[in-house]
């Protein structure tokens, strides 16, 4: 009996103890799993624990190139990235960056979206027995700033006061934010046999070919002769701008400049 009395509560106690132990284990586990991340100070670990939110995030702020024309404050016309207007009165936003650049030979670069067209045009021009060479292309904001500042210094050295020097400089070098080269869609192409950036560049075999064929590839001669009053830039028979084939044909066939085409 004594043993029976002592024995009978034992299984109960054991069960109770087991229950408490198990409950303790469960709370211990959950406690551990919630506290574990907070206790990690290693940023790598914290990073590794965030894959779920990171993976679900992309659909919202997709880093795919947002058409520049979607930025209303920047002087864009809303017709698409290839028709963005940049000139003396339409400045790029201060922190404008090209979504993606393709590097070319000689340290040149162009917006990746215009690269296939440029490559095809250069290839076909060479296939025609000519020797085009790109001498200027994409410029960073800082790069344009440097060029402009250099020009301002030239005019200051000639005795002009700051304001006048800047005005004079702007006639030769676009102010930062107003150069098409910052867009990444413009290239200066010259003939290997004659590389001076002056009016007579128009007589080179390369320019004759480019002026006749650039529209087929979506490029225009951006600053044609006789349009300086509209473009704000003097005649440049070497500066080509990508606008897409449809616009390029209309502009080149119609003898227009981009400003005229966009104002229609």
The smaller minimum CB distance to Zn ion, of residues 147 and 252, is found at 147
Secondary structure of residue 174 in the 3-state scheme: coil
Q: Smaller CB distance to Zn ion: residue 149 or 188? A: 188
Q: How far is the CB of 241 from Zn ion (least distance, A)?
A: 8
Q: Quick one: DSSP state of residue 193? A: T
Closest distance to Zn ion from the beta carbon of 47 (Å):
44
Residue 221: what are its φ and ψ, rounded to 5°? Answer: -80, 105
Binding flag, residue 139, Zn ion (CB under 5 A): no
Q: Given the complex with Zn ion, which of 50 and 200 has the nearer CB atom?
A: 200
* β-pair partners for 22: none
Closest CB 159 distance from Zn ion, rounded Å:
29
Q: Which is nearer to Zn ion, 40 or 228 (CB)?
A: 228
Q: Give SS3 for 110.
A: strand
188 sits near Zn ion (criterion: CB under 5 A) = yes
Q: How many CB atoms sit inside 10 A of residue 233's CB? A: 20
Please say if 236 is a catalytic residue. yes
Q: Structure tokens of 146?
A: 């440097």
- Residue closest to 220 by CA, chosen among 186, 252, 188: 252
First CA to last CA distance, the chain: 110
Tell me the residue number closest to Zn ion, measured at CB: 239
Round to whole Å and give the CA distance between 216 and 41: 59
**CB of 187: closest distance to Zn ion in angstroms?**
7
Q: Phi first, then psi: give them for residue 193, nearest 5 degrees.
A: -75, -10
Beta-ladder partners of 87: 90
Shortest reach from residue 233's CB to Zn ion, in Å: 9
Bridge partner list, 132? 191
Measured from the CB atom, the residue of 50 and 189 that comes closer to Zn ion is 189
The stretch among 116-124, 150-158, 231-239, 252-260 that binds Zn ion (CB under 5 A) is 231-239
Among the residue ranges 38-46, 73-81, 156-164, 238-246, the one whose residues contact Zn ion (CB under 5 A): 238-246
Number of residues that bind Zn ion (CB under 5 A): 2
22 CB-near residues (< 8 Å, 6+ apart): none
**113 touching Zn ion, by CB under 5 A:** no
Hey, what are 75's tokens?
């002087």
Could you say which of 236, 246, 259, 260 is catalytic?
Answer: 236
Which of 5-13, 161-169, 209-217, 239-247 is the region at the interface with Zn ion (rule: CB under 5 A)?
A: 239-247
Binding flag, residue 239, Zn ion (CB under 5 A): yes
- Strand locations in the chain (E): 101-103, 109-111, 132-136, 186-191, 219-221, 239-242
Q: Token pair of 111, please? A: 């917006």
Catalytic residue set: 236
Q: Which residues here bind Zn ion, judged by CB under 5 A?
A: 188, 239
């Amino acid at each position: 009996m004594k043993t029976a009395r002592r024995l009978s509560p034992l299984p109960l106690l054991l069960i109770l103890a087991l229950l408490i132990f198990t409950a303790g284990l469960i709370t211990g586990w959950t406690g551990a799993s919630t506290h574990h991340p907070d206790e990690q100070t290693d940023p790598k670990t914290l990073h590794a624990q965030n894959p779920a939110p990171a993976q679900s995030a992309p659909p919202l702020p997709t880093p795919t190139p947002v058409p520049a024309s979607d930025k209303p404050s920047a002087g864009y016309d809303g017709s698409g990235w290839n028709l963005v207007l940049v000139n003396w009165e339409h400045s790029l936003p201060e922190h404008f960056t090209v979504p993606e650049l393709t590097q070319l030979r000689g340290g040149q670069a162009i917006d990746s979206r215009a690269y296939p067209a440029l490559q095809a045009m250069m290839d076909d021009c060479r296939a025609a027995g000519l020797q085009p060479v790109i001498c200027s292309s994409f410029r960073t904001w800082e790069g344009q700033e440097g060029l402009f500042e250099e020009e301002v210094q030239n005019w200051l050295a000639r005795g002009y006061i700051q304001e006048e020097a800047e005005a004079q400089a702007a006639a030769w070098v676009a102010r930062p934010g107003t150069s098409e080269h910052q867009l990444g869609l413009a290239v200066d192409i010259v003939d290997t046999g004659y590389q001076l950036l002056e009016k007579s560049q128009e007589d080179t075999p390369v320019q004759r070919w480019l002026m006749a064929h650039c529209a087929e590839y979506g490029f225009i001669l951006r600053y044609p002769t006789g349009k300086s009053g509209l473009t704000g830039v003097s005649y440049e028979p070497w500066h080509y701008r990508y606008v897409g084939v449809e616009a390029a044909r209309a502009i080149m066939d119609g003898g227009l400049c981009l400003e005229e085409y966009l104002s229609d």
